[in-house]
Homo-oligomer: A and B are copies of this chain.
């Protein structure tokens, strides 16, 4: 799993599409204006999204984009995987010798974790995000009153 700003742009744009796609298609120019993303960069992102059938484009005046399928059938993982190239991390293809299995043990652990992150993001749909106005009640993590917000920007690596 790879989670970069590129993926964020894509998720944000798709979120915009979900929110504003009720009355006709949404133009990239609108998304560019509203979300502060350059038009051509959006075009690149939407080329990837389109190739995965996550969006459908309508040409000509009055055209634009709408979701390729229902918002409850598009997961965050779908979006991120579409724009962020999947990079295989473990270079030991399956069950090689791999330094007496020691290296592969660590790799398997990482793979399990990576799968977990992936299926977590796969379990969140655009519809869920929009309907609930957030994810406060998502999954099994509802009794979490500590509310651990993002760490502040005081993370200066000396």
A22 at interface, CB cutoff 8 A: no
A94 at interface, CB cutoff 8 A: no
A155 at interface, CB cutoff 8 A: yes
Contact present for A103 and B35 (CB under 8 Å) = yes
Contacts of A11 in B (CB 8 A): 110, 113
Copies in the complex: 2
Main secondary structure of the interface of A (DSSP, over half): helix
Name A residues whose Cβ lies closer than 8 Å to a Cβ of B: 1-5, 8, 11-12, 15-16, 19, 33-36, 47-48, 51, 76, 81-83, 85-89, 91, 99, 102-103, 105-124, 129-130, 133-136, 138-141, 144, 148-151, 153, 155, 157-158
Contact present for B155 and A81 (CB under 8 Å) = yes
How many Å from the CB of A32 to the closest CB on chain B? Answer: 11
How many Å from the CB of A51 to the closest CB on chain B? Answer: 5
Contacts of A116 in B (CB 8 A): 124, 135, 138, 141
